[in-house]
Structure 1
Amino acid sequence: MSVWEFFVWFFWFYIVISCISIFIRVIIDVFRDPELSGWAKALWLLFLVFLPFLGAFIYVIVRGRDMGRRGMTASREAEERIDDDIRSAATSTSAVSDIETAKRLLDSGAVTPAEYDALKAKALRGTA
């Protein structure tokens, strides 16, 4: 195999991978779109199966702008969910750490044994 044959093979391999990527993105977008009815989704999928290149080009031309908006919305929602999970994990305290804190306060004399028992009960109630 010569160097030029390798470059030609590599070029066609790149084209095939790019086409598969485009088809997958279009199919995902067809299913992600809440505005399309079930029949419209089925027709787009049939169009993509039987005339893949033409179907993908027409879909991107006709619905490309909305396709980008849906992608940005989905990534924004995913980022917000991750941020909310991180915030909730960072701010949540466990009953064990609350009881440890109350025990340290009791040992230092900052709270009375009755207040310690109340703090301990409150921490245990929070986990149930």
Structure 2
Amino acid sequence: MNAQTYLAYDYPLLSAFWTMLWFFLWIMWFIVLFRVIGDIFRDDSLGGWGKTGWLVFVIVLPFLGVLVYLIARGKDMGRREVAQARAQQQAFDTYVRETAAGGRSSSVDDLARLSEMRARGDITDAEFARAKDVILSGGAPAGRASSAPSTPGASVPSDPGR
């Protein structure tokens, strides 16, 4: 058994490969560590002491703490991340809709709401026709048009803040 053994460091290219592999694993470890720490803070089902316990466990014994956390709470970690992504997408979609509409609902939306109100019996056909005319003429929104006094001599109470 006098054979010479060659290590990875005897070949410069293999040495570079091992260095890159360890560097990649080191970076991946930090990504997993920070995702676990972020999930601990994001989780609403954990109380303050639970979050503190998991955080101490992950910081004091990082490899074991992260491994145990991923085994114990990994499935819920994915669900929380998906729920957060959906909430962010919904908030973004709402923002885009409001911004594109200029902060005001379109006449189509107003007519649909009026139609629903008439179908429920909240307004009469005459009120519906009057509000529809106001919307189609580009006047005030439907809510203001249907609440206006119907008699010509009636006055609207003035706003004390004006």
Same fold (TM over 0.5): yes
C-alpha distance in structure 1 between counterparts of 2:56 and 2:103, whole Å: 52
**Which runs of 5 or more structure 1 residues have no equivalent in the other structure?**
95-118, 123-128
Per the alignment, residue 87 of structure 2 pairs with 77
Question: What is the DSSP-based 3-state SS (H/G/I as helix, E as strand, rest coil) of the residue aligned with 1:4?
Answer: helix
* TM-score of the pair, normalised by structure 1: 0.71
Per the alignment, residue 9 of structure 1 pairs with 19
**Which runs of 5 or more structure 2 residues have no equivalent in the other structure?**
1-10, 105-137, 141-162
List aligned pairs for 1:6-85, cutoff 5 A.
6-85=16-95
* Structure with more helix by fraction: 1
Q: What are the superposed Cα offsets for residues 25-66 of structure 1, whole Å, 9 maximum, x if unpaired?
A: 000000001111111111111111111011001101100111
Instruction: Between the two structures, name the one with larger relative contact order (CA 8 Å, sep ≥ 6).
Output: 1
The amino acid across from 1:20 in the alignment is: F
> Among the aligned pairs, what percent are the same residue?
38
Q: What are the superposed Cα offsets for residues 60-80 of structure 1, whole Å, 9 maximum, x if unpaired?
A: 110011101100000000000
Give the greater-gyration-radius structure (CA): 2
Question: What is the DSSP-based 3-state SS (H/G/I as helix, E as strand, rest coil) of the residue aligned with 1:7?
Answer: helix
The amino acid across from 1:45 in the alignment is: L
Output the aligned Cα RMSD: 1.9
C-alpha distance in structure 2 between counterparts of 1:34 and 1:89, whole Å: 31
1:93 Cα offset (Å): 6.6
Q: How many aligned residue pairs are there?
A: 97
Q: What are the superposed Cα offsets for residues 69-122 of structure 1, whole Å, 9 maximum, x if unpaired?
A: 10000000000011111111111179xxxxxxxxxxxxxxxxxxxxxxxx8xx7
C-alpha distance in structure 2 between counterparts of 1:49 and 1:62, whole Å: 17
